[in-house]
């Protein structure tokens, strides 16, 4: 835990970078993962942190796959941290902008503005700002684990493995995709575009009327979704298509 004490000391010394709010240590149930001795590998199979290619490893956090969708969905709405609006100079639309404008410091949670604002206790300072929903603890944990892993821009080949489109489960496959990529914009009191994807019934309605597949496959006549982001990986689109064809059930 030397690094932690070190970074807290550093934090006390370096008070000059625009922080009215002192970072607080996360308390339960937000867990932080101690990755200092071995940033990635807990299974002892000798994997190393510089792995940048295929296939996707379960213990590695990949920025584009795991972190960027959370930022796009929760932070780049109109008036916020997209390239046009750039609120407070912060732009969260790709790796480089995120690291530079949200002051992400590898291995240093408390020194990273990005982490500080999503764990802020003060309702006037926490991001995303109400009435937008706060990040879930699992999203916060993922972002903190990514910073502790070195805040790198690792990528992997999603389709290197088999894409399983048999008996696709709503709870295990479809809903997690929606939560990560869509729900930040499409839930709450005034969902973007008037489209609510906040619960199963709402997602099912958009599945059955053709909108869900239309926007993610980016068919002509549909606004491409997720907004401001790349197309979803083909495997996820195929899985959602299969789930819809099988009746869009709550399975």
Q: Give me the residues that bind ligand HEC (CB under 6 A), please.
A: 72-73, 76-77, 181-182, 184-186, 192-193, 195, 206, 211-212, 215-216, 222-223, 225-228
Nearest approach, Cβ of 78 to ligand HEC (angstroms)? 7
**Minimum distance from CB of 244 to ligand HEC (Å)?**
12
Nearer to ligand HEC, 99 or 179 (CB): 179
CB of 16 to ligand HEC, least distance (A): 33
Contact of 128 with 35, CB cutoff 8 Å: no
Rg (CA), the chain: 19
Q: In the bound complex, what is the minimum distance in angstroms from residue 109's beta carbon to ligand HEC?
A: 26
Burial (CB < 10 A; 0-12, 13-18, 19+), residue 29, is: exposed
**Is 35 or 74 the residue whose CB approaches ligand HEC more closely?**
74
Q: Could you give the dihedral angle defined by the CA atoms of residues 84, 87, 89 and 92, in that order, rounded to the nearest 10 degrees? A: -70
Token duo for residue 147: 């910073």
- Residue 139's Cβ-count burial label (10 Å; 0-12, 13-18, 19+) is buried
Residue whose CB is less far from ligand HEC, 74 or 101: 74
By beta-carbon proximity to ligand HEC, the closer residue of 148 and 215 is 215
């Amino acid at each position: 835990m030397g690094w932690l004490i070190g970074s807290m000391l550093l934090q006390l010394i370096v008070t000059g970078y625009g922080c009215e709010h002192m970072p607080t240590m996360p308390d339960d149930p937000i867990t932080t993962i101690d990755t200092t001795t071995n940033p990635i590998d807990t299974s002892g199979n000798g994997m190393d942190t510089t792995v940048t290619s295929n296939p996707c490893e379960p213990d590695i956090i990949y920025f584009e796959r795991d972190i960027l969708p959370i930022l796009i969905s929760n932070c780049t709405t109109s008036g916020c941290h997209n390239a046009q609006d750039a609120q407070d100079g912060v732009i969260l639309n790709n790796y480089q902008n995120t690291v530079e404008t949200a002051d992400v410091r590898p291995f240093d949670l408390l020194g990273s503005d990005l982490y500080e604002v999503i764990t802020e206790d003060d309702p006037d300072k926490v991001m995303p700002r109400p009435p937008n929903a706060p990040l879930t603890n699992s999203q916060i944990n993922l972002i903190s684990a990514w910073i502790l892993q070195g805040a790198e821009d690792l990528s992997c080949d999603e389709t290197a493995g088999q894409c399983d489109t048999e008996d696709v489960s709503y709870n295990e496959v479809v809903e997690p995709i929606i939560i990560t990529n869509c729900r930040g914009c499409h839930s709450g009191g005034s969902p973007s575009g008037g489209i609510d994807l906040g619960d199963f019934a709402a997602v099912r309605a958009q599945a059955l009327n053709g909108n869900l597949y239309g926007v993610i496959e980016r068919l002509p006549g549909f606004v491409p979704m997720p907004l401001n982001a790349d197309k979803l990986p083909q495997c996820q689109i195929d899985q959602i298509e299969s789930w819809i064809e099988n009746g869009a059930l709550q399975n």
